[in-house]
Amino acid sequence: MQKFLAFMFPLLLSVYVQGVDGSIGVNYGTVANNLPAPEQVAHFLLESTIINRVRLFDANPEMLKAFAHTGIAITVTVPNDQIPHLTKLNFAQQWVKTNIVPHVPATNIVRILVGNEVLSTANKLFIVNLVPAMQVLHTALVGESLDRRIQISTPHSLGILADSSPPSTGKFREGYDSHVLKPLLSFLKATNSPFMINPYPFFGSSADILDYALFRPNAGVLDENTKLTYANMLDGQLDAVFSAMKLLGFTDVDIVIAETGWPSKGDTGQAGVDAESAAEYNRKLVQHVTSGIGTPLMPNRTFETYIFALFNEDLKPGPMCERNFGLFQPDLTPVYNIGILRPTAKANFPSYPTPAVRPMPAPKGKTWCVPKSGADEEALKRNIDYACGLDMEYCEPIQGSGACFYPNTVRAHAAYAMNAYFQAMGRNDFDCDFRQTGAVTNKDPSYGNCKY
């Protein structure tokens, strides 16, 4: 175990974020007049966070230069109004030469998005030209020998679904299914690119289903067709998209979550719109999509996910919540912390805002979280990785000469790490679940100088 810890602890942050096939990124929007310079943002993300992917809503050269030599994977976007022009090879070639070629390989551009939620615009000119534009743009990448380095895709809102509840009945809207989405999926499969969606449980939530939307304990929702129970809304949304793809014969195209998030502030009367709920959603989102659990219809997988958004954007139109989806304020202080700050940065920032009061049974006396008696050792190792990846301070006592290093066993180290996380999160029973390997106890597991 000592050798395991010595090699694993320097890697824990990256293991936690990337999972097996997934990773966590952010949407870097700029609809604001008070944002820091792109160079400052790139340096902050690289040095102070464990974010390793960024989605841009354009191909701004200043921003692309700012991310040069950082290694951060960058996704750029072609605006919707450029889609018809991209169907012409000369235009596509010039777009690539102007917006991509000058920046690679110094800037790690990995994907180009052609438009955003194009089908939801109902603009026929954009819609009929979407797939042809993607095909021609791919040809332009081939001409620059960049087709194996850079993927092409386009994100969709869940408005592309005609049915989504229960998830097994998910299907695309008639007309779009065969004329747009089937050829789109064929292109994505041929180019090894993902199908990208923008699921927002926030917009589907209400006071009576808030627990279901926020990954809290709830009764779940049974899909009578599959007899599978859904514990959270995001899984239901993802599986509805998967079912729609399956109807068209494409179960082997990856799904990427291009946008999802939760606002920290909103208009009066909006249920669950506060900093605590936003922190809870995004923290549990990261845990869920990188855990390898998958969804009921897509088990044992991770999902590349981009949180919306990096900053609160003060010029965005619409209700107040639209301007408050950010993880960070323009001065780079966190609105709340979901575990993406490096330990060196955390010393300077508050971990969480003052929690909003919400009804929850208070624990009777102090409680602790320990591994269940039959918990698998490999599962406990993953628990160590997860808890320590959130905050290395949780795990200092089980390293080297720490007070809790002995007994030097996986179970003992997991007990300390799991409990440290449990205590930090507020001693809620669901924070001791750890994929059903943890149990809450009222017996203090402290011993000697090792204090839990």
Q: Are residues 95 and 206 in the same domain?
A: yes
For residue 7, give the 3-state DSSP assignment. helix
Question: How far is 13 from 337, CA to CA, in rounded Å?
Answer: 15
Question: What is the model's pLDDT at position 399?
Answer: 85
Considering the candidates 117, 280, 304, 313, report the single residue annotated as catalytic. 117
Instruction: Check whether residue 342 and residue 373 sit in a common domain.
Output: no
Q: Does the annotation mark 396 as catalytic?
A: no
For the chain, the straight-line distance linking the first and the last C-alpha, in angstroms and rounded, comes to: 20
Helices (H), 328-394: 343-346, 377-390
Q: How far apart are CA 186 and CA 355, in angstroms?
A: 47
- Answer yes or no: do 264 and 337 share one domain: yes
Task: Identify any residues that bridge with 73 across adjacent strands, giving them in sequence order.
Answer: 53
Residues 257 and 123 in one domain: yes
- Is residue 7 domain-resident? no
d(CA 99, CA 92): 10
Q: How many domains does the chain contain in total?
A: 2
CB 5 within 8 A of CB 399: yes
Do 406 and 375 sit in the same domain of this protein? Answer: yes
User: Exactly one of 259, 276, 280, 304 is catalytic; which is it?
Assistant: 259
Per the domain annotation, does 449 fall within a domain? no
CA–CA gap between residue 151 and residue 138 (Å, rounded): 8
Q: Which pLDDT does position 346 carry in this prediction?
A: 52
Alpha-carbon Rg of the chain, whole angstroms?
Answer: 23
Of the candidates 157, 165, 66, the residue with the CA atom closest to the CA atom of residue 115: 157
Residues 6 or more apart from 347 whose CB is under 8 A from it?
none
3 state SS for 236-258: HHHHHHHHHHHHCCCCCCCEEEE
- Do 383 and 331 sit in the same domain of this protein? no
The answer to whether residue 50 is domain-embedded is yes
Same domain, 430 and 320: no
Please work out, in degrees rounded to the nearest 5, the angle formed at the alpha carbon of residue 44 by the alpha carbons of 278 and 66.
Answer: 120
Q: What are the DSSP E strand ranges found in 300-345?
A: 305-307
Cα 365 to Cα 444: distance, rounded to the nearest angstrom: 11
Asked if residue 298 and residue 209 are part of one domain, the reply reads yes
Same domain, 96 and 197: yes
Question: Per the structure block, which two tokens stand in for 34?
Answer: 């008070």
Boundary of a domain, candidates 346, 377, 393: 346
- Give the span between the Cα atoms of 106 and 117, in whole angstroms: 29
Based on the fold, state whether residues 110 and 249 are members of the same structural domain: yes
Q: Decide if 351 is inside a domain.
A: no
Domain assignment present for 84:
yes
CATH number for 55: 3.20.20.80
pLDDT of the residue at 396: 84
β-bridge partners, 151: 111
Q: What is the widest separation between alpha-carbon atoms in the chain?
A: 74
The per-residue DSSP string of 253-310 comes to S-EEEEEE---S--STT-TT-SHHHHHHHHHHHHHHHHSS-B-SSSBS----EEES-S
pTM of the model: 0.75
- Where in the sequence is the domain holding 227, given as residue range(s)? 17-346
Task: Give residue 85's pLDDT.
Answer: 98
State which of 293, 316, 346 marks the end of a domain.
346
Provide the token pair at 33: 């007049």
Say if residue 69 is in the same domain as residue 112: yes
Considering the domain architecture, whether residues 189 and 231 belong to the same structural domain is answered as yes
In a domain, 450, yes or no: no
Whether residue 108 is contained in a domain is answered as: yes
Residues in the chain, total: 452
Active site residue 259: yes
Please report the pLDDT score of residue 421 as a whole number: 86
Q: What are phi and psi of 78, to 5 degrees?
A: -95, 125
230 assigned to some structural domain: yes
Final residue of a structural domain among 293, 312, 346: 346
List CB contacts of 395: < 8 A, sequence separation 6 or more: 9, 384, 387, 388, 413, 416, 417, 420
DSSP type of residue 384: H
Local confidence pLDDT in tens for the 452 residues of the chain:
333 333 333 333 333 333 334 589 999 999 999 999 999 999 999 999 989 999 999 999 999 999 999 999 999 999 999 999 999 999 999 999 999 999 999 999 999 999 999 999 999 999 999 999 999 999 999 999 999 999 999 999 999 999 999 999 999 999 999 999 999 999 999 999 999 999 999 999 999 999 999 999 999 999 999 999 999 999 999 999 999 999 999 999 999 999 999 999 998 888 899 999 999 999 999 999 999 999 999 999 999 999 999 999 999 888 999 999 999 999 999 999 898 888 766 544 444 443 343 333 334 578 999 998 888 888 888 888 778 766 667 788 998 778 898 888 889 999 999 999 888 878 888 788 888 888 999 889 998 888 99
Element (H, E) at 86: helix 83-86
